[in-house]
Amino acid sequence: MRGVRAFAVLTVYLLLMSGFAGLLYLIFNSFTRGVGSAAAGEIGRVLFMGIVGVELLLIIFIAPAFTAGAVTGERERQTYDLLRTTLLSSPAFIVGKLESALGFIVLLLLSAIPLQSLAFLFGGVSEIEIILSFVLLLVTAVTLGAVGMYFSVVLPRTLTASVRAYGTIVSAMFIAPILAGVVLSLARDLLVRGGTIQSPVVEALSGAIVVMLTGESQIVSEITWWEIESPSGSLGWVTEAQDETPTLTLANGDFLASGEGQPTTLPRTPPPTATRTVTAASGSEQIIVVSVALLLVYEAPDTDGAIVEALGAGVPLTVLNPAQIVGRDSWWRVRTPSGTEGYILELTDDLPSFITQANAQGELSIGVEAVVILPDQVLMIHEQPDAESSVVEAAVNGVTLTIIGGPELVGDVEWWQVRSISSVEGWAAEQVDNQVALVHPNRVPTPTPTLVPTQIPTTLPTSTATAAPCPGAPPSILSVGIRAYVVLGTPNRLRASAGTSTRQIGQIRGGEEFTIVGGPICTDGYRWWQVEFQGEPGWTADGEGDEYWVRPVQ
């Protein structure tokens, strides 16, 4: 370790690791460029995990090689007998050999810590994670080195010790987990074998479907089963829980109880109708299409089948049959206002395709495309339902946010978990400064139109709505909803949020067109507009001083 060779090996190692980190950054950044939801912290985590992964592979392959010849090498050089004549004890001899063999590996791990710390530039990795990764790598090196040392002690030759050491390590780290997974899978199949789980499926139920208990529970291979009758009249057996999550509840919300593992007989009486929120029911209940601009009605519950009708948002439908599961999709048989009968998917892009008619009256709920109505300020989207938590994005007046969770009442404020049009997820308050900030699309207030004298421009076009003056930016010539382009010259930066300190996600070259979908926000001496460029959202500035970088398409 004190010679030129160790210095050269360490230098080459750091150069290769640096090149790998740079290549990993370029590859990952090329995939995330232009995607507004890709956080910089994700790049940091990828770099960190990539460097740690390479170090782990390095330890697996070189730690046994350094220790497998520690004792056998002394025998082969005929110096082992001389060592036995010294006053050095056997434990001290083994520990000393292990320390000398692993010392260089520890040096390699320490030298790579600055590379791991590059993740701090992007975020997503904490100091404790770097410390834990070093400790785990060190423990792995010592463990694998001890395996090599063991075979070096019990075997006479270095080659044999190395082969045995690598065989043991590969078996323990790769072959054993695979065999364990296969054995556990086979054991689970044997435990539940007996005709219960492998019996024919008579019907698939989804959502809050009301069923009738028709008999006592039975316990088969530690799994509790209940005999039920579905709304369509099918008789069969269902498990009381799946993946430790209850699948059946009583009408009052209580869980079923089998009583100390003993079968329990329940009365053969149908429970009262359960109240549901998003999922529809069978019968004559009306549902309304939401969260999708277009809903396709299929002739059969199959996306490859014939399409019988296409519906827009707000169309009422009559549910004819409860949901049935085909593959991993839940389908509902409905009748459209035109009398056409067919099947619709319960979920579209992981959001409900419909809500109950009562929910369509204008109340906020999961799946609704809520609208921001704050003419004089922006709505901050926070990381947590707390005004003191970090802001992940700002939404301007008129922008739609998809509600994906909530609500949560914190103090006197009701918070909703939302997803912006740039796919950023966070929490937004329903009210800001005693002013309603989020409303259902059906409750967006309609402004009273006023007649304003219009001047015909001499040099610059004027949009239908002019933004307020912004210090440092030229007078606005843009408005939401129009097409615009970047003037020839230096490309415009496309950022994840408004501001010069936010992450750049792409660029718009001169002559390229885009659609303005939100804004403006005046910050950092620029007027920022939210745009949609090549199908991806972002923010860009319209100019500086008297120079326009963006102009409307004529």
> Is 263 in contact with 217 (CB distance < 8 Å)?
yes
| pLDDT class of 263 with cuts at 50, 70, 90 | very low
- CATH code for the structural domain at 286-361: 2.30.30.40
The pLDDT assigned to 251 comes to: 46
Q: List 418's β-bridge partners, or say none.
A: 403, 426
pLDDT tens, residue by residue, 220-252:
766 777 778 776 667 788 887 766 666 666 544
pLDDT tier for residue 26 given thresholds of 50, 70 and 90: confident
| Residue found under tokens 């129009």 | 482
Task: Tell me how crowded residue 176 is: count the other CB atoms within 10 A of its CB.
Answer: 11
The Cβ-side half-sphere exposure at 113, using a 13 Å CA radius, reads 17
> Which residues in 32-115 belong to E strands, given as ranges?
none
Cα–Cα–Cα angle for 525, 530, 534, rounded to 5 degrees? 130
- The CATH code that applies to domain 369-443 is 2.30.30.40
**Six-digit token pair at 327?**
């593959």
Sign of CA dihedral 13, 18, 19, 20: positive
pLDDT of residue 194: 41
Q: How confident is the model at residue 273 (pLDDT cuts 50, 70, 90)?
A: very low
453 vs 162, more confident: 162
Contact between residue 417 and residue 384 where contact means Cβ atoms under 8 Å apart = no
Write b or e for each residue in 138-166: b if 16 or more Cβ atoms lie within 10 A of its Cβ, otherwise e. Answer: bebbbebbbbbbbbbeebeebeebbebbb
Between residues 376 and 449, the one the model is more confident about: 376
Task: Give the mean model confidence (pLDDT) for residues 494-523.
Answer: 82
Give the pLDDT confidence of 446-505 residue by residue, as tens digits: 554 444 444 444 433 333 445 567 888 888 888 888 888 888 667 888 888 888 877 778
Give 100-124 pLDDT, tens digit per residue: 888 888 888 888 888 888 877 776 6
pLDDT of residue 483: 86
Among the listed residues 315, 332, 334, the one whose alpha carbon sits nearest the alpha carbon of residue 323: 332
Adjacent-strand bridge partners of 538:
531
CB 298 within 8 A of CB 307: yes
Q: CATH class for domain 483-552?
A: mainly beta
Residues of the chain with CATH 2.30.30.40: 286-361, 369-443, 483-552
Name the average pLDDT for the chain.
74
Contact of 496 with 394, CB cutoff 8 Å: no
Cβ neighbour number for residue 17 with a 10 Å cutoff: 20
